[in-house]
Amino acid sequence: MSDAYLALEDGRVVEARGRVPGRTRGELVFTTAYTGYEESLTDPSYEEQVLTFSYPLIGNYGVRAERFESDRVHPRAAVAREFTEDVVEWLADEGVPAVDHVDTRDLVTSIREEGAMKVGIAVGEDATPEAAKEELAKCKGMSEHVDIGAQVTTTELTTYEGDGDQTVTLIDCGAKQSIIDSLVERGATVHVLPYDATADDVSALDSDILFVSNGPGDPENFTATRELVEEFAGEVPIAGICLGQQIVASALGGTTGKMAFGHRGVNQPVRDLQTGKVIMTTQNHGYTVEDPGEHLDVTQVNVNDDTAEGLASEELSVITRQYHPEAHPGPHDSLGFFDDVLSMGTPEGNGRKRRVVASD
C-alpha cells in the first residue's frame, strides 16, 4: 500500500514511498545535476516548485550547511528515485514533504514532452489519491505568483564587506549566497537591498555597480526591480544573473517568455559568439529572453536550443548571464564573469556614465 501520491496536471496519479509527510503543491520541474543537491534544495529560484532529481541516488555524500545557498529549503517538495537518510532527516527538519521510489525517468520524460506541469502531493499514513488531487486543484501557475519576490528577498539592507575599494548594490530577487561570495572574494563590498527597493535607496548607497540577482518566477512580476534598471541604465554599470538577465532585458525594451521545461542542471553547453568557445554551465530557470530589444546584443547562446545566455551593451555598460557563473559545486568555466562585472566599475571600464537610454 502506497503512502504517497502525486497528482499530475496531465491526469495521472503516481504512487510513491513517503519519506517526509505533508500535503503540498507546485510546478513540477527536474534537474539533471548529479551533484550539488544541497545547493539545489537551498536555491531560492526553486520557490513554489516541486523538484525532481533525475540522478537516481540523492544524498550519497551527506548534508553540510556550508554548502547551502540560503537559510532554508525552497522547493515545496522533493522527488527522487532514492533519498538517503541524511537528506530525509534534513528535509524533515525543514518540514518539506519528500517522496522516493518513483520512476523519475518517466517523470522527466513526461516533463520534457509535455512541459513543466502542476502537481499536487499527499504524503503520510492518511494520504490518498483524492488528497493529492485536492492539492493539484489549488495549484497556481508560476506566473500567477505575482508577489513571489517577497517570499525570497531580504527584508532590510545587509552589507558584506570586501577588502577592496569597489562597491556593488545587489538587488535581492532571491539571490544565491555564492553570487555575493564571488563578488566579496574579489574585494568588492556588496550592499544587498530588497527586490522592491526604490531609486532613492540605490542612490543613497552610491555604489559603482548595480547588480540584479537570480530568483524565482516570471520576470514581468518584478516591477520595482525593472524600474530600477530603467532609472539607472546609462548612469551606473548594470549586471544580472538568471532572472536578473530577464529583468534587465525587459527594462531595456526586450521581451521574455516561459520555456516548456526550462534549463536545470550542471551540464548546459553555452557558446560565446565572439570567441566561438563552448563552456559548460549550471542553470536553473524556466523563463528566457525571447528578444533582447534594440539596446542589448546577444553575446552567448545555448548550444542545445539557441536561447540567449549572455547579453551586453558596451554603450550602457551592461553585462548579463542567463546561467550561473558562480556555480557550486561547479563547473567553474565561467567564474571570469565576476571579474568582467567589476571591471565595468573602474575608470578604465568607463565607470559612471551620463544617461543614454530610457525604456519606453
Q: Which of 191, 263, 295, 324 is catalytic?
A: 324
149-359 topology per CATH = Rossmann fold (3.40.50)
Residues in CB range of 45: below 8 A, 6 or more apart: 74, 174, 176, 214, 215, 216, 242, 243, 284, 285
Question: Is 324 marked active-site?
Answer: yes
Domain ranges of the chain: 4-140, 149-359
Q: Tens of pLDDT along 156-183?
A: 999 999 999 999 999 999 999 999 999 9
Candidate CATH numbers 1.10.8.640, 3.50.30.20, 3.90.1150.10, 3.30.1360.200; the one for domain 4-140: 3.50.30.20
27, 242, 285, 295: which one is catalytic?
Answer: 242
List Cβ neighbours of 258 (8 Å cut-off, separation of 6 or more).
142, 143, 218, 286, 287
45 is in an annotated binding site: yes
Q: What is the pLDDT of residues 101-130, one digit of tens each?
A: 999 999 999 999 999 999 999 999 999 999
Report pTM. 0.95
Could you confirm whether 295 is annotated as catalytic? no
HSE of 307, CA atoms in CB hemisphere, 13 A: 25
- Contact call for residues 202 and 208 (beta carbons, < 8 A): no
Question: Cα separation of 228 and 248, whole Å?
Answer: 9
Question: Is residue 26 a known part of a binding site?
Answer: no
Angle (CA) 141-145-151 rounded to 5° is: 135
Q: Is 57 annotated among the ligand-binding residues?
A: no
Q: Is 183 annotated as a binding residue?
A: no
Catalytic-labelled residue, pool 48, 69, 82, 326: 326
162 is in an annotated binding site: no
- Give, as one character, the DSSP assignment of residue 127: -
CB atoms closer than 10 angstroms to residue 224: 15
pLDDT of residue 359: 40
More confident residue, 34 or 79: 79
- pLDDT digit string (tens) for 249-265? 999 999 999 999 999 99
